[in-house]
Structure 1
């Protein structure tokens, strides 16, 4: 079971910066995220319910006297140099998450000077916990502090998202970056993806914790299926728009409209849209559960979300389904579902804290028997968002 080591990570990043550059750096941490409920709703102008977690990217940064950028990735033990006036994608990929943010800040009229940057992280790679968003947000936040750019937290998140969309080339929504920047301890973020308004929802139960089971797989279907699901949702909206012109996205759609205008035309599109419309409502109901401290009801909604993702949206996979099935009738688990784009990655589980170790041992053993693979377990504590690390 993975235990966070943020303090030792911070020390390692700091020491590497001192070794490479000598001067005392500014240190910034930016967290990964989980999403409790509200999957595949973001690009349908719906609601999501993420939280920042205690898995982080740590950045050490300092000014240079020239117009160059020198980067070092502690985990990869790789360096990369670039010029501020000639930013382009690198063959290493990881520098692009940093350079893309620099480019976005430049395009927004901010005067970014040359800098040295060292970073490292303890966010598991490929598990769907948004290590890339954390790196982008850490970079934007650090540059804002270093050069006194006076950029709001929302604009830092938007610049980070735009960097991933336009420089890296991944068409993600804003949820990952928003959660990383706006996270608060013991709080979930109810984010409206239509207008970026948000509320904090309390998530404070000392008897429960969040456990992630990583399938250790990522199937090749993920990217093509993601694009196809977006197109199918847009098709459903178009069918309804023929009768209700005010409808702009699935956020505006009712189940009754789906039954009347979509179901007779395309059963697959109907299933996709039915899941999304139901999930938006499920999230709203789930927030009321949490406000009433009804974690059992919230957990049941998590199972319902997984069933919808498996059977209606069809973005799960055998490994994810096995992990959910293994905990479905376990008294230690209040709720579980696949998390993220699908076809691999993690399940997120709401677990009684005094039964965590026994659950982890049981699930990892049974998962290996069923799939021949070895799952990884992580404890995710809800943390604050991006911040400067003070001495």
Structure 2
């Protein structure tokens, strides 16, 4: 892979100079969905799938971007002095947004760069290809320009750029998981404080299986921002009757006590999901730590039902995939993962059931939805880093 990328870079930009290579992973969230902007906990892990970047500094202020995933687009040019969102710039708005956010924080780039990108995360799958690209850009800038910036700060800069440059009101989870991932561990992250701990994912006789519905989602164009606004309205009304700063501050019992303060039924259901999902995530992490994978799977199933019914971010195709998985002996748990409105499911499947899972899910999905599901048995990898 590294030789292929290096050769592609030389082919596009020419030889010579200090050419460096980087990787930032995608992520799958095992449980804790739509809690990250509600002051709750999440439990993601970095994947060995992700985004590769090759870069070299230039002598002028030009920025040149090329993606091997979008070869027909060719090289997209920009300039350090012209960092504004532009629909015509397409995918390059993500790295441009990070450059803009670095400048907003006072980091000054004295020259532009040539960049080649290749990602093996399926586009629009909900495995955080955009966050991976943002974190990759941050690690690239830190290394190329010698900036003193921590990996958690790179995650925050990536989130800031997506919120304010690309217009998606995402939480911190995706960027944090990409920056801070650790092989064979999930990250138990309190999004309110950014306190985190690594939890070993010991699935001795099971695998993590991701199923891509091939229904592409776009968080900016979807109802994602609507969900966030609905939660903010619910929080505002709850603050009138109880002293909280975020929905994640409430237990299930406290929510039931105060929920009538939320006037709108839709906002009440959104808040219920945020509160219950946060508590589910706390209990699920404890179950996994205790080696109770079966209980962890039950929490995953409950999470999907809540995301389907209370948060309403699932879709027909995703529900079909999850229901097919639930019927297969050896499936410990299955749920939608990511922002929703399409994308992927994540399942924990016993080793002896993996082949059956792949066969049955693909067959059933084709029959019911007339689409071919892509299925990946995945490994948990490290966070973003420079490649030697």
**TM-score range with shorter-chain normalisation?**
over 0.9
Tell me how far apart the structure 1 counterparts of residues 66 and 235 of structure 2 sit (CA, whole Å): 46
**Change in CA separation of 1:167 and 1:272 when aligned onto 2, cut-off 3 Å:** closer
1:344: which partner in 2? 342
Tell me how far apart the structure 1 counterparts of residues 254 and 238 of structure 2 sit (CA, whole Å): 7
Is 1:36 equivalent to 2:34 in the alignment? no
1:285: which partner in 2? 283
Segment of structure 1 superposing worse, 194-203 or 226-235: 226-235
**Change in CA separation of 1:220 and 1:389 when aligned onto 2, cut-off 3 Å:** closer
The partner residue of 2:247 within 243, 247, 250 is 250
Tell me how far apart the structure 2 counterparts of residues 66 and 222 of structure 1 sit (CA, whole Å): 33
Q: How many positions carry a matched residue from both structures?
A: 381
Cα offset, 1:369, TM superposition:
0.7
8 A Cα contact 1:239 1:262, kept in partner: no
Tell me how far apart the structure 1 counterparts of residues 44 and 78 of structure 2 sit (CA, whole Å): 34
2:313: which partner in 1? 315
**Scaled by the length of structure 2, what TM-score is found?**
0.93
**Scaled by the length of structure 1, what TM-score is found?**
0.92
Q: Runs of 5+ in structure 2 lacking a partner?
A: none
Q: Runs of 5+ in structure 1 lacking a partner?
A: 1-7
Secondary structure class of the residue paired with 1:377 = strand
The superposition leaves residues 18-49 of structure 1 with CA deviations (integer Å, 9 ceiling, x where unpaired) of 22220251110000000000011111111111
1:3: which partner in 2? none
The superposition leaves residues 44-100 of structure 1 with CA deviations (integer Å, 9 ceiling, x where unpaired) of 111111111011111011121222222211111221122212222341311111111
**Change in CA separation of 1:230 and 1:109 when aligned onto 2, cut-off 3 Å:** closer
Is 1:105 equivalent to 2:98 in the alignment? no
Secondary structure class of the residue paired with 2:348 = strand
Secondary structure class of the residue paired with 2:339 = coil
The partner residue of 2:256 within 241, 256, 259 is 259
Tell me how far apart the structure 1 counterparts of residues 105 and 289 of structure 2 sit (CA, whole Å): 39
**Change in CA separation of 1:340 and 1:379 when aligned onto 2, cut-off 3 Å:** same
Is 1:295 equivalent to 2:288 in the alignment? no
The superposition leaves residues 163-213 of structure 1 with CA deviations (integer Å, 9 ceiling, x where unpaired) of 212222222111111100100001101111112111111102232211111
**Change in CA separation of 1:89 and 1:334 when aligned onto 2, cut-off 3 Å:** same
8 A Cα contact 2:255 2:275, kept in partner: no
1:5: which partner in 2? none
1:141: which partner in 2? 139
Secondary structure class of the residue paired with 1:344 = coil
Tell me how far apart the structure 2 counterparts of residues 182 and 221 of structure 1 sit (CA, whole Å): 23
Cα offset, 1:229, TM superposition:
2.4
1:95: which partner in 2? 92
